[in-house]
């Protein structure tokens, strides 16, 4: 008996020591509805290499790492991770977004939130091992569209409370691209989830955004010789900037557009050479025809209704733009997963009918993928705040769609003041997709501004964006420029073009953009 008692005592002491040394491990026993905890471990400060990754993440504080699988439906398999600061928790929960068709955990966003003191969550949106593999799985489409983010939020808050023995004081969401879709879905479908939401370059009009990708691929590949080599894309963008840069409110030396809608570029001034000519200083007639079609954007060939907005002028040679979208060896694998859901895994973009096939796509996937609702009354009445931003040189998710959405919300709210009471929108001059680009690479500390707005009642006005050398913050600053809530844009008033003090906010006279027809805003 003595020996048995001694052994039990040792085991009890060992378990107590384990719990004391790593309280995170106890979360493995946590009972979360529809969730299975697959990992609960203490990670020491320093460097951490995520599972399945070869790239280590450095400069991390000590944290509790929790991984789980959520199953809100029998066919769901939603992976989430939650990183909880061991010390210095700011008592806030941060949900973070992902990109593309998801299918992975965004460890960069987890690290960002952790370093700032948030209990930070992320999800693969239920599309692992890849969105292209989900043909015939409508429950997984719903997970990707909206359910995974909500379920991550519910489970993440519960795990956070179990770890710290108190609930988060406030909750925020931050995401860009697909993360922006997640953000707007949360504000529309689950308005109680977050106190503040930051939505970047939102891919919320999903079934029509991707039709823009099909349109560009068809415009450049349906006609032999229609593709545009990088040198010719550079030629086009230079011509656009020579005609319009600095005349749209920006500075004389700008090599990007502040307000592309104010640029009325005539493509007929581009140098044209005969088809078959291999010359980077001109476009062939076939290439010019393809370019004009790209700039027109997708329309229904039978009715003439606009399906989606085109890429913005001045973004032709920006990363993730025409060069990638016209490539039949690249674009379909990265961008056509929803067509495989709707039309089968052997979907052929060359046969897509922009009339009837588009209707079929919208009927099947629009209800779960599109976040176009302008009814934000519950979100507003909850006292929550929404910041949205996008770059004017984004060729992947054109800024015009977000602008159109914002203007529709203004109409529903009854005016700009009523809208800005809870929802503000920033156009970032020259920024590409979520970051980078030829102009500003960011819009400043928008998450910090959102928190200050919600918690202190200080509505964000002027923020300061930064452009870095080669788009890399480690290489130094090229220039800074203020950004303002729409409809204000930074206008050069004189002085050092690189200084934010040389600009003032001015309402631009040409805000109207090409927007989808009403039937394609559902």
Catalytic residues: 177, 394, 433
What's the CA gap between 263 and 500, in Å, rounded? 23
Task: Give 183's DSSP letter.
Answer: H
Q: Where are the alpha helices (DSSP H) in 72-130?
A: 107-115
CB 220, CB 356: distance < 8 Å: no
Q: How far is Cα 164 from Cα 171, in angstroms, rounded to an integer?
A: 15
Angle in degrees, CA 183, 189, 191, rounded to 5:
75
In degrees, rounded to 5, the angle at the alpha carbon of residue 400 between the alpha carbons of residues 397 and 406 is 110
Compute the distance between CA of residue 24 and CA of residue 278 in angstroms, rounded to an integer: 63
CB 382 within 8 A of CB 191: yes
d(Cα 499, Cα 467) in Å, to the nearest integer?
A: 11
Cα separation, 228 vs 483, whole angstroms? 33
Give me the count of residues in the chain: 522
Strand 283-284 relative to strand 272-273, pairing = parallel
For residues 348 and 211, give the distance between their C-alpha atoms in angstroms, rounded to a whole number: 13
Tell me which residue of 14, 21, 106 sits closest to 55, measured CA to CA. Answer: 106
Instruction: Give the integer Cα–Cα distance in Å for 360 and 366.
Output: 9
Dihedral sign (CA 272, 273, 276, 279)? negative
Alpha helices of 390-429 — where are they, by DSSP H? 399-413, 416-420
**Tell me, what DSSP letter sits at residue 54?**
S
Strands 283-284 and 423-428: unpaired
Q: Give 306's DSSP letter.
A: B
- Reading the block at residue 394, the tokens are 């984004």
CA–CA dist 210, 435 (Å, integer): 20
């Amino acid at each position: 008996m003595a020996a048995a008692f001694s052994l039990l005592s040792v085991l009890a002491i060992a378990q107590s020591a384990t719990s004391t040394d790593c309280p995170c491990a106890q979360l493995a026993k946590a009972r979360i509805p529809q969730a299975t905890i697959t990992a609960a471990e203490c990670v020491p400060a320093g460097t951490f290499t995520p599972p399945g990754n070869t790239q280590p993440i450095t400069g991390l504080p000590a944290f509790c790492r929790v991984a789980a699988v959520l199953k809100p439906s029998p066919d769901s398999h939603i992976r989430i991770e939650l990183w909880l600061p061991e010390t210095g928790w700011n008592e806030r929960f941060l949900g973070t977004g992902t990109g593309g068709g998801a299918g992975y955990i965004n460890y960069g966003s987890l690290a960002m939130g952790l370093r700032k003191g948030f209990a930070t969550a992320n999800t693969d949106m239920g599309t692992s091992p890849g969105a292209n593999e989900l043909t015939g799985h409508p429950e997984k489409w719903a997970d990707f569209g909206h359910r995974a983010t909500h379920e991550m939020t519910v489970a993440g808050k519960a795990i956070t409370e179990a770890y710290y023995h108190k609930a988060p004081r406030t909750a925020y969401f931050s995401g860009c691209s697909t993360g922006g879709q997640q953000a707007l879905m949360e504000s529309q479908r689950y308005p109680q989830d977050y106190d503040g939401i930051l939505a970047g370059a939102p891919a919320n009009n999903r079934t029509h955004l991707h039709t823009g990708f099909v349109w560009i691929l068809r415009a450049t590949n349906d006609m032999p010789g229609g593709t545009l080599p990088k040198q010719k894309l550079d030629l086009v963008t230079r011509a656009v900037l020579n005609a319009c840069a600095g005349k749209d409110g920006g500075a004389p030396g700008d090599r990007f557009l502040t307000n592309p809608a104010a640029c009325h570029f005539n493509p007929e001034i581009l140098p044209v050479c005969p088809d078959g000519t291999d010359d980077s200083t001109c476009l062939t007639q076939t290439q010019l025809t393809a370019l004009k079609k790209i700039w027109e954007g997708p329309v229904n060939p039978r009715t003439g209704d606009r399906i989606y907005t085109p890429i913005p002028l001045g973004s032709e040679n920006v990363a993730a733009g025409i060069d990638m979208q016209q490539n039949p060896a690249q674009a379909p694998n990265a961008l056509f997963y929803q067509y495989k859901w709707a039309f089968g895994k052997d979907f052929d973009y060359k046969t897509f009918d922009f009339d009837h096939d588009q209707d079929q796509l919208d009927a099947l996937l629009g209800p779960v993928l599109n976040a176009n609702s302008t009814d934000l009354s519950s979100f507003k009445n909850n006292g929550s705040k929404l910041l949205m931003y996008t770059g004017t040189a984004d060729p992947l998710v054109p800024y015009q769609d977000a602008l159109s959405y914002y203007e529709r919300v203004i109409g529903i709210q009854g005016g700009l003041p009523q809208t800005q009471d809870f929802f503000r929108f920033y156009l970032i001059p020259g920024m590409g997709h979520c970051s980078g680009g030829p102009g500003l690479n960011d819009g400043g500390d928008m998450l910090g501004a959102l928190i200050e707005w919600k918690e202190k009642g200080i509505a964000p006005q002027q923020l300061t964006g930064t452009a870095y050398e080669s788009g890399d913050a480690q290489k130094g600053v090229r220039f800074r420029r203020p950004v303002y809530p729409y409809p204000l844009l930074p206008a050069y008033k004189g002085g050092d073009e690189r200084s934010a003090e040389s600009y003032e906010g001015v309402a631009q006279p040409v805000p109207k953009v090409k927007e989808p027809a009403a039937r394609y805003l559902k």
